[in-house]
Amino acid sequence: MIRHPRIAMAVALVAAEFGIDADDIYRQDRHKSVATARLAAMWVCRHLSKPAFSLPEIGHSLERDHSTVMAGVRSFERMRREDPWLAEIVTRVLETMHSPRSRIRVA
């Protein structure tokens, strides 16, 4: 599976914040910690600076349907508003990705 490098970077950063392996986000695992991290990765990819990734692009990279990504982004938006810890995580990830010194390598 060929993944967009910026999506792979977002997934790697989110996984690190959640203390899980980035490959877990791509798997079908439904454990709460992995599922929440997956939703966070979808949300981050959708909210990267212009041009933002389309739902089908995110879905393709995460091996999900675009409608799954759309539902995930909406779901995480609610979670983020209710949980300051989650909001802090995605803020850190976005700041890292937008940093001019960000040269994170992903496998």
The 10s digit of each residue's pLDDT in 80-102 is 999 999 999 999 999 998 877 65
**Buried/exposed 30-61: b ≥16 CB within 10 Å, e otherwise:** eeeebebbbbbbbbbbbebeeeebebebbbbb
Mean pLDDT of 57-78: 95
Look up the CATH architecture of domain 5-97.
Answer: Orthogonal Bundle (1.10)
Could you state, in order of their start, the residue ranges of all structural domains in the chain? 5-97
What pLDDT sits at residue 107?
Answer: 45
What pLDDT sits at residue 3?
Answer: 79
- Percent of the chain, pLDDT > 90? 75
